[in-house]
Amino acid sequence: MAERTWWKRGIVYQIYPRSFQDTNGDGVGDLEGIRRRLDHLAWLGVDALWISPIYPSPMADGGYDVADYRDIDPLFGSLADFDRLVGEAHERGLKLILDFVPNHSSSQHAWFRESRSSRTNPKRDWYIWRDPAPGGGPPNNWISNFGGSAWTFDEATGQYYYHAFLKEQPDLNWRNPELREAMFDTLRFWLERGVDGFRVDVIWHLMKDPEMRDNPPNPGYTPGQPAINRLLQIHSADHPDIYGVIAGMRKVLDGYPDRVLIGEIYLPIERLVTYYGPDLTGAHLPFNFQLIHTTWRARDIEALVREYEGKLPEGGWPNWVLSNHDQPRIAARVGQAQARVAAMLLLTLRGTPTLYYGDELGMPAVHIPRDRVQDPWEKNEPGIGIGRDPSRTPMPWDRSPNAGFSSVEPWLPLNQDWHSRNVAAMRDEPASILTLTRNLIALRRERKSLMVGRYAPVLVTDEVFVYLREAGDERVMAALNLTGDPQTVHLPDHLQGGHVLVSTLAQVPANPVGGALTLRGHEGLLIELTRQAA
């Protein structure tokens, strides 16, 4: 049952390890830092921490260029540090989810060094190599997600290798059975160390068109967009052969109790839901990023929820994400007042929420001076606002130097308001977004209706979205005002009566809920309705 499955009833908390806590004085977060801050996660009430890549890496793309899939980069610590972190997380009742990056390795990985050594090397086919086009140049028109051609010529062997991202990130060939089994063994390596699941990076990229056909032009492309948008990626990603690969990963995890497989998928809903796989043999949770990209209007959000709920396969469990390490933070998109409403939305919709570190503080986008930019995408395509650094800045813990994150200047700048927007300052403040987030998590844990109950729409206007969560005779209603002006809506007769559990604003209205429900500007209310007679 859903309430007995931790990844259905629980809340996932994403940690970008470079930015959570530094303990060795190099300005970069580490595993020991995460271990020392586990009590914050337990206090907050989340159920699992997901850690972005910590493998050995040249760091051409912040660790998403993996040089060894079965070790820890010294920047973050050691395997012993990792084992200690897993053990202490489990002691606190926290699960640990590891990032898995199977689409590409680092060009410095031993596998790739062998692969590029000669055309006859046994590992040549572990990567994607092709001859030049008949007239010379790259084999096709595929574009790197970070700009420029997705093909790099290797002078020594006279062929091009494919890389969906940086040239330092050659794509692995998942059509090769030996490569596939080596990656499955990597999953087993970490599962044996106690990892509770994996978030699989760019899972929809793993299988490409075997004929390597050109991608067609994107008719919706306009100058100023990232170069990757110039073409429709119909041959370089989301190939139907992917489902067999994911089923293979799922089979590995199914050999261990209570594990979860999460897939990173930036696709429309109708494609996203196919990644649950035939008969739910795919990812347990194909990541749903739709809230990141939808317009922040009540009717648009209600329509999104309705479409998603309607297209889920039978038995498929929903999930929701507001922010992550690749996208602007929710407070940067909708403002501080609406970030509080967004927290109520995230933590009361049906399905598993993922909370990005710092969003419990309402962390804003942080200005990154040109000379401190770290993101390779921003360096490759400067000036069009695609840099991801503003969402990866250090966690502010207190008012001590460098916000308690490090004893030295951090690798990225702190948020400008860190003296007041930090965990210590907000933890005991009744009106803070941190307190609100913790209270919402506690309510979600206490009430089965919020944790695993049914979702039912109530009403939507241009400004207000109201929905019901119910389990048995327990009913909780969320009413969200997505504007700064007061709004009044009229509730159906059967949803009148009850009391407010929490408001996103400081003071909770004391009046019973009647037919006319008035919401203050930027207010969300969570209302426990009168229990229905049996």
pLDDT digits (tens, 9 = 90+) for 77-126: 999 999 999 999 999 999 999 999 999 999 999 999 999 999 999 999 99
Shared fold status for 110-162 and 454-529: no
Read off φ and ψ for residue 313, nearest 5 degrees. Answer: -70, 155
- CA–CA gap between residue 288 and residue 298 (Å, rounded): 18
Q: Which fold has domain 110-162?
A: Oligo-1,6-glucosidase; domain 2 (3.90.400)
Side-chain-side CA neighbours of 311 within 13 Å: the count stands at: 16
Instruction: Tell me the β-bridge partners of 529.
Output: 498
| Stated length of the chain | 534
Read off φ and ψ for residue 405, nearest 5 degrees. Answer: -80, -40
Dmax (CA) for the chain in angstroms is 78
- Tokens read off for 175: 């059509």
DSSP state of 389: G
Q: Does domain 454-529 fall into CATH 2.60.40.4070?
A: no
- Tokens read off for 256: 């261990």
The set of catalytic residues is 201, 264
Burial class (CB in 10 A: 0-12, 13-18, 19+), 222: exposed
Q: From the centroid of its chain, how far is CA 238?
A: 19
Cβ–Cβ under 8 Å, residues 152 and 163: yes
**H runs (alpha helix) in 166-241:** 177-192
Q: Does domain 2-105+175-441 fall into CATH 3.40.50.800?
A: no
Please report the pLDDT score of residue 252 as a whole number.
98
Q: What angle do CA 114, 119, 122 make, to 5 degrees?
A: 50
Residue spans of the chain under pLDDT 70: 1-2, 509-512, 531-534
pTM: 0.96
Please report the pLDDT score of residue 533 as a whole number.
41
Strand, helix or coil for residue 256: coil
**What residue segments make up the domains of the chain, in order of their start?**
2-105+175-441, 110-162, 454-529
Cβ–Cβ under 8 Å, residues 368 and 19: no
